A and B are shown apart, each in its own frame.
Chain A
Amino acid sequence: MEEEKNTQSQENESEEIRVGVYVCHCGGNISDVVDTKAVVEALKKKPNVKIAKDFVFMCSDPGQKLIIDDIIENNINRIVVSACSPTLHETTFRKALTRAGLNPYLYEHVNIREQDSWVHKGENEAATAKAIRLTAAGVEKIARQDPLEPIVVNAEGHVVVIGGGVAGMRAALALFKRGLGVTLIEKGDRLGGRALELDKVYPTEEKATDIVSQLENAVRSEKLDVRLNCEIEMIEGFVGNFDVQIRDKDSKIDKVRAGAIVLATGFDHYQPYEGEFGYGKSPVVVTLPEFNKLIADMPQSDKFTYKGKEIKNLAFIHCVGSRQVEGVHQPQADGRVNEYCSRVCCTATLHTINKTLDKFPNLNIFDLYKDIRTYGHGHEDYYEKASKRGVTFFRYTDDSIPEYAPSPNGSGATLTMKDVLTWNEEVSIPADMIVLATGMVPREISNLVGMLKLPTGTDRFLQEVHPKLRPVELANNGIMIAGTCQGPMDITESCAAAGASAAKVSILLSKKTIEMDPYVARVDEAKCDGCKLCLAECEYKGALFMAENYAHVNPALCVGCGACVAVCPPRAINIAGWTLDQFDGMIDAISMEELEPAMVPA
């Protein structure tokens, strides 16, 4: 048997490491492929393992009881469970450790289901050997684990919401109703954002101004702290304790303390470059928002007149400034094309087409699209209605983007393209007026992005931690996003996102203190020689600094990215719970040439 190595870290040097290993059958999900008994027998022979057991369902009450009893009765002080994915039951087992009086972070969850038995069916021997190595790696990791405590910071029960569009107002109201103080900062001179530019909106056909008024009245009657004509001068601090400096239009600075920040800075319209489908050169080429404004106050009529001329043929072009292709479209200022779909413009275009026909039933309308993406509930109805009303649809591809040619007399244009709907027949569409369905681009907030080191995606919108698992949180602790600052959304979606952000913030600030996972950088001051190499790696202001000749971490500001860890020569800085020594131990277990003779089941 291998000599017991001292794998303990400094903090637990005096303590004997006693690991309990539990291998789950998961009904037969695991044990039909992995020989769980063999795993147990192999692990029993591993240094530091004092107990190894298998059980039919480890997550069941009797399964958890096995662990709790062994902690209490057999002084087991580190636990490894080999079972399903940690995303399912890591928390379940950590809670079991807490119930048994053991630090919940002295737990390692090994995945031998999704990443072993379910993907290696028919290769039972190899899957078993893999399970042994993975479980051994879990033992190596947990044997080097110190108890950890969650990071606790005070939580200010106040939130600053930046941006007073529908998303910002919706978030502010929801936060206020949950008992939090709210300051809503809007740089414009009124609340409402881009919704103020809209007339009746899909899918409810309410007037956008009515929606804005409803929200604004609620905000005003709740007496929220609303600051119009104001912008952010500076934000310092960290989750629970942000110091926000607000600059008003007279450049006066006011300070507000906030436990969290919600960003709802919204979107801008894509601005076509001069000459894009004739835009800027011909007066009859306009964008969809411009066209919406134009027709909003026009009375119903047999004729549609624009700039003194009757418009008989009106053409709409989809995807202008969105779904661009490198090498085909002109890049944006940063050299990248807008590859994303702006999502709202298909429905918005068809909605506008129907509104236009309500007012001017005699118009010929041509709709040139790449795809019709009317994805939301009731959105497809606008397409069907437009089809029934005689709108002529043409479908183009990136190989045949409509070509714009002004009419010789300068009064209109011809659009030429290959139409997919008629088997690539080349068509020339006469247009007296052209409407470009321009998409959304993120609003210019580089000062906030730079100040707070906000993550942005390749599309330049603010980027959530994970689109499904953490859809309204940024990697920066305590900063949430709401609405179109995250990406193209309609009003319904912007409000839903705002509600989700408010819910996240109110959970975060529900108590006087905030508990955070302890997986942030930690410095072993005895090892740190003060070389400062780590400082240059950290992007998060205030997270890492030098004092008394060694590196210090502010756990509330550190996001645990690990960039600093890789450059530290003496390995003085590590992410708690994910140290390089732990990873080395895991690699040793994984790379065991043959399973060590002592570990091969008899």
Chain B
Amino acid sequence: MGDHNNMKILLITTMISSYPGANTVGQAHLHYSPGTYIIRVPDPVVFPESFYMRCYEKGIDGIIIMSSGSDCPYEGAYRRLSERVARVYVQMKENGIDTSRLKLTTICTVCKAAFLKEINEMQKNILQARSEKEGVAA
């Protein structure tokens, strides 16, 4: 638990799908790490590549973009978002940031298990990335 609590995971949620989805998890009183911070946006397509890079610079360990996927109500937004995420991966690699620390996924209003699974997986990715970095440093 300790390791998990000293990591910060940013969950970018959509107002219409994954934010209410996170509330459903809360209403079911399911548990996940307090190191998770949820922000809501009309659509994650709003964020430029630099936003993600700034998050890592500021000390965010992992980012999960919980989009509405191909069910996104905004024309063309999901395609643009996935293309952007691909470009963020390139920048992450260039800057020595493990790409497993960013995940684009789809979460709806009732995806409780998927929501928790994504957080657990991100925690594992972060720990793995940390231990690899420490290994390299040593």
Contacts and interface: CB of A to CB of B under 8 A. Distances in A.
B76 A590 contact: no
Interface residues of A, number: 55
A539 interface: yes
Nearest to A464: B73
Interface in A109-140: 111, 113-116, 118-121, 123, 126-127, 129-130, 133-134, 137
A210 interface: no
B30 A119 contact: yes
Interface in A540-585: 540, 559-563, 565-567, 575, 578, 580, 583-584
Interface residues of B, number: 46
A584 B54 contact: yes
Contacts of B5: 123, 126
Contact of A562 (B23, B32, B41): B41
A121 B31 contact: yes
Contacts of B80: 537, 563, 566
A469 B31 CA distance: 26
B42 A133 contact: no
B51 A130 contact: no
Contact of B45 (A137, A470, A562, A590): A562
B29 A458 contact: no
Contacts of A463: 71, 73
A8 to B, nearest CB: 21
A451 to B, nearest CB: 12
A586 B39 contact: yes
B71 to A, nearest CB: 6
Most B CB contacts (10 A, CB to CB) among A465, A562, A567, A593 go to: A562
Nearest to A117: B26
A566 B48 contact: yes
Interface string A352-380: 00000000000000000000000000000
B20 A469 contact: yes
Most A CB contacts (10 A, CB to CB) among B8, B27, B34, B76 go to: B34
A28 B16 CA distance: 28
B47 A591 contact: no
B55 A591 contact: yes
B22 interface: yes
A458 B8 contact: no
A561 B60 contact: no
A464 B68 CA distance: 13
Given A465-B73, A475-B73, A114 B54 contact: no
Contacts of A137: 37, 39
B10 interface: yes
Contacts of B46: 561-563, 565-566, 575, 578, 580
A395 B108 CA distance: 32
Contact of A539 (B29, B37, B60, B75): B75
Interface in B8-52: 8, 10, 16-17, 19-20, 22-23, 25-27, 29-32, 34-35, 37-39, 41-43, 45-48, 51
A575 B77 CA distance: 15
B60 A590 contact: yes
Interface in B84-99: 84
Interface in A136-186: 137
Given A119-B31, A588-B58, A113 B45 contact: no
B71 A566 contact: no
Contacts of A561: 42-43, 45-46, 74-75, 77
Given A468-B109, A562-B43, A563-B45, A129 B34 contact: yes
A591 B73 contact: no
Contact of A559 (B20, B58, B70, B74): B74
Query: Lowest 8 CB-CB distances: which A-B pairs, in order?
Result: A562-B46, A114-B26, A475-B73, A561-B74, A126-B34, A539-B75, A591-B58, A114-B23
26 contacts: A85-B23, A113-B26, A115-B26, A118-B27, A118-B29, A119-B31, A120-B31, A121-B31, A123-B1, A469-B16, A474-B73, A519-B42, A540-B75, A559-B74, A561-B42, A561-B45, A563-B76, A563-B80, A565-B46, A565-B48, A567-B48, A580-B47, A580-B51, A583-B39, A587-B60, A590-B10
Given A119-B30, A130-B37, 13 more contacts: A87-B19, A87-B23, A118-B26, A120-B34, A123-B1, A130-B35, A133-B37, A134-B37, A455-B73, A455-B75, A463-B71, A475-B75, A565-B48
